[in-house]
Structures are given as structure tokens and as C-alpha cells.
Homo-oligomer: A and B are copies of this chain.
Amino acid sequence: MNEQNVLLEAFNKAPVKLAGHGNRDIAVLTEALSEVEGSLASDMYGAGRVIGEFEAEMAAVLGKESAVFFPSGTMAQQIALRIWCDRKGSRQVAYHPLCHLEIHEQDGLKELHHLEPLLLADPNRLITLEDVKQMGAGTACLLLELPQREIGGQLPEYAELEAISAYCREQGIMLHLDGARLFEVLPYYGKTAAEVCELFDSVYISFYKGIGGIAGAILAGSRQFTEESKIWKRRHGGDLISLYPYILPAKYYYRQRIGRMAGYYEQAKELAALFNGCHKVSTLPEVPVSNMFHVHFAFSREQLAPVLIRVYEETGIGLTGRLKETGEASCSYELSIGDLYSGVSRPVLEETFRLLDARLREI
């Protein structure tokens, strides 16, 4: 077993975890179904009460005319960009170099839709209004991800977002929101989902990030846009006869957790401060703007893993099972606060971080 597997095993063994909502096991689904009548009819290829009511509810939450449930965000977002490109008769879209479509989708956007992405900004910073102003006029659509996950979940200030939106409207560039973690940033912005979405022409949200459902996504916009998206959903093979196994948990966990986002955000700030108090540890962002952040260690994985394992064993608290190498003597991991965090008492937390700090100073 290599060092990384040993770390993962020690993490899995730790009785208490700080991040997330808990294991992704079958009970997540059975709990969501426990109060649903067995006689409730399945959706049928996008039609029926189960899907229609949830789509209508989400359209209202997002302040859009219409919404469509998709099995995945990968599918929903490629389709959104394709629709805007077809409408403008252009193949160019613009997004961040670490956009999900660029690094996690096996180039589906290029291979299936033949769209040509323009990468805005440096990978390690947010897209600014200045970047946007330097796009060519041929760009059909700009995709913004709020928060920008791969750089720790950073956010532009709201005024900058408004300015980007105003500029795009002026230039006839469609603005699409990758809102996989939209609900998670609302407490920082102090805005409703509808207020943020008003700045965008189309919006995607996910149900298995902060909401903690099984899978699935909503794509919202004008009715004309969503009707077109349904045709592409069929083409992609996403218009399943039954999507209710994802819709019912999405609805259940949305109700359960939408009111907890402000708490997760406060807890993320608290936890980040504890990390930043440790020797050669820093978080990105330093002060989180949502429930997520990245933890950076100025140690190699080989140096760090044994220390983490010892802390897990001594405290019973698991921090992470994986470390990403970011340099010769540095590594990091991503965390998102969920329901588990509130199960850890403040004294236990403080003792854990006191110990972590002490052990890191011994390296």
C-alpha cells in the first residue's frame, strides 16, 4: 500500500470527519424516499408531476421563466453554450482556464459540439471586467463560475459581477452561470438566488454539492431556451424515462439544507482561521466566501501524510484522505463544510488544531 492509500485508510477509520454531509451511501437515497408515497407515478421522458413541479419550483427560486432537470451539469452546461453559440452563429465561448468544461469533461464541448473556448484570465485568479473587455466581439457566450472552485472557491465582488453583466448585455454576449455551488455563495453576497441569476441569461445549479443529493442539475432561462435545451437533452441521451431517483432526493435535501448555507459559511470561516493558525498552513481564500476553501501545506505529501495520520489517530478527527501535490514541497486539499461540522465541539476542534500545529513544527 502506498503512502496515499495509507492516508485514505486512516481518514476512513477516523470516527469523526470535519467536512461534508457524511458518506455517500444508499441510505442517502432511502432516507429521501422514506416519506414518498409508493403510488406516486414516475416522470415519463421529462413529463409528469414529479419533474414538472420541481422544475417550476426551481424556476421560481432562480427567478427564471423556465427550468429543466438534467442528469448532470456536464450535459446541461455544454447544451447551454451550444444553444447560445447556435443563436449567434459563432463557435466561440469564453471561460476560466480551470472551468469544469475545460478540465473535467474529456473535451465534450469540443468533441461533441465543436465549440472553441477562449480561456480568460490566468489559471490562479478570477476573471475580471478587464479580461471580459478584451474578448473579441465574436464570442457568443461567457461562462462565469460562482464560486471559482479550482482556486479555492473565490468570488468576484458583487459590483464587479454587475459590471461584467452590464458589459455583456451591452455587447450582446450571453452570460451563463455555472452555479454548481450558487446557494453556497448567497450568504456572502447577501443576495437571493434570483437576484444573482438576474445578471445571467442562463443558469445551471447542482444538487449534490452543498445540497447533498444523489446527482442531477437544473438548467434555467427563458422558455425558448429551455425548450431548445430539451431537444439537446434527448440528443445527449439524458432524457431518461425516469429521473425521479435524482429529483426526489434533490427536492428532499434542498428543503433540508437550503436554510443551513449561512451556517456552513460561518463555520468555513471559523475552520479556515484554525488552519491559518498552524505552522506553514494557509487557506485559499484566506477568509472563505462560501462553505468551501482549499488548504495549502508548505510540506511535501511524503512529509505531511504521516503527521496527518498521527493526528487522526490521536484525536479521532479525520481531515482529508487525499492530498494533491502542488510543488516539490507543497500540497493541498479541498474541503466543503456540510452537516458533519456541527457535530464537533469547539474544545475538540481546538485541541485537534493545537496538536496539528505542534506536529507540523516537528517536521
Number of copies: 2
In the complex, chain A residues 22-51 whose Cβ is within 8 Å of any chain B Cβ: 23-30, 33, 36-42, 44
Does A231 lie at the interface of the complex (its beta carbon under 8 Å from any beta carbon of B)?
yes
A-B pairs, 9 with minimum CB distance = A75-B237, A108-B235, A245-B245, A27-B38, A74-B237, A24-B42, A72-B237, A106-B234, A215-B240
A38 to chain B, nearest CB (A): 3
Check: A241 CB closer than 8 A to any chain B CB: yes
A238 surroundings in chain B (CB, below 8 A): 71-72, 75, 236-238
28 interchain pairs, CB-CB under 8 A: A24-B42, A24-B241, A25-B39, A25-B41, A26-B33, A26-B36, A26-B38, A26-B40, A29-B244, A33-B33, A71-B240, A73-B237, A74-B234, A74-B237, A75-B237, A75-B238, A76-B237, A105-B237, A106-B234, A107-B235, A108-B236, A108-B237, A111-B235, A112-B112, A215-B240, A215-B243, A236-B237, A237-B238
Contacts A112-B235, A236-B238 aside, 17 further interface pairs with beta carbons under 8 A come to A24-B44, A26-B38, A26-B39, A26-B244, A33-B33, A42-B214, A71-B240, A72-B238, A72-B240, A75-B237, A106-B235, A108-B235, A112-B112, A214-B241, A215-B242, A236-B236, A238-B238
Roughly how many angstroms separate A132 CA and B212 CA in the complex, as a whole number? Answer: 51
- Chain B nearest Cβ from A30, distance in angstroms: 6
Contact A30 B27 (CB under 8 A): no
Give the distance in Å from the alpha carbon of A33 to the alpha carbon of B108 in the complex.
Answer: 33
